[in-house]
Amino acid sequence: MITLALSKGRIFDETLPLLAAAGIEVTEDPDKSRKLILATTRPDVRVVLVRASDVPTYVQYGGADLGVTGLDVLLEGGGQGLYQPLDLQIAACRLSVAVRADYDYASAVKQGSRLTVATKYVNLSRNFFASKGVHVDLIKLYGSMELAPLTGLADAIVDLVSTGNTLKANHLVEVERIMDISARLVVNQAALKLKQAPIRRILDAFASALPQS
């Protein structure tokens, strides 16, 4: 049995075409049931639904053989011991710094002010601001980062941006682009050895379904 860990939502939705290229169709709709283990048209392949930030943990400890997870999750601290063979080029977005439209970020940085930054990505943010020589106090949040500058909780946020609609709707502006993000295939190292042939078939099918980069 090959177990693939996915998170509900964009990762699940955007992985389906890649699975189709590997001849695998998920036979249950995660939005219509509370099931966490989903069967596929291949009796030897199943999908488990976990939280996005738990995908690397499931794969690392063998709860799943393979998984699809954002580069943001891997770099923030979830990538240890995982084989990361493919950039799947899905769930594309960027990690950025944003502030209220009326906040002068450039001047604050220039003057060497200490910034309060709210984010789910404390490790990535610490490294980014340290590399710029900007002093920051980090506040860890688990979601709705955009609210922090609006309520006075923070001067800035570090969050994912795709269309920019969420920032716009909350009168925030993007002031720095930290890095581009996309989803990666991650593989358990032991599974890669023990289940080499079926995993290799899935990897090859995914790779050939990707646009050439």
Site residues for ligand ATP per CB under 6 A: 7, 9-11, 51-53, 70, 72-73, 91-93, 160, 162, 181, 183
Closest to ligand ATP by CB, 108 vs 210, is 210
Residues 24 and 61: beta-carbon distance below 8 Å: no
Closest to ligand ATP by CB, 115 vs 119, is 119
Place of tokens 């699975």: 19
Residues that bind ligand PRP (CB under 6 A): 143, 159-166
Tokens encoding 201: 């078939």
| Shortest separation between residue 76's beta carbon and ligand ATP, angstroms | 9
> How are beta strands 156-161 and 183-188 bridged, if at all?
unpaired
CB atoms within 10 A of CB 65: 24
Q: Taking CA 144 as the corner, what is the angle to CA 137 and CA 172, rounded to the nearest 5 degrees?
A: 75
| Shortest separation between residue 61's beta carbon and ligand ATP, angstroms | 17
Report what 52 binds from ligand ATP, ligand PRP, none; CB cut-off 5-8 Å by kind: ligand ATP
Report what 165 binds from ligand PRP, ligand ATP, none; CB cut-off 5-8 Å by kind: ligand PRP
81 phi and psi, to 5 degrees? 70, 15
Closest to ligand PRP by CB, 153 vs 192, is 153
Closest to ligand PRP by CB, 154 vs 203, is 154
Longest dimension (CA), the chain: 62
| Shortest separation between residue 7's beta carbon and ligand ATP, angstroms | 5
Place of tokens 């020589």: 133
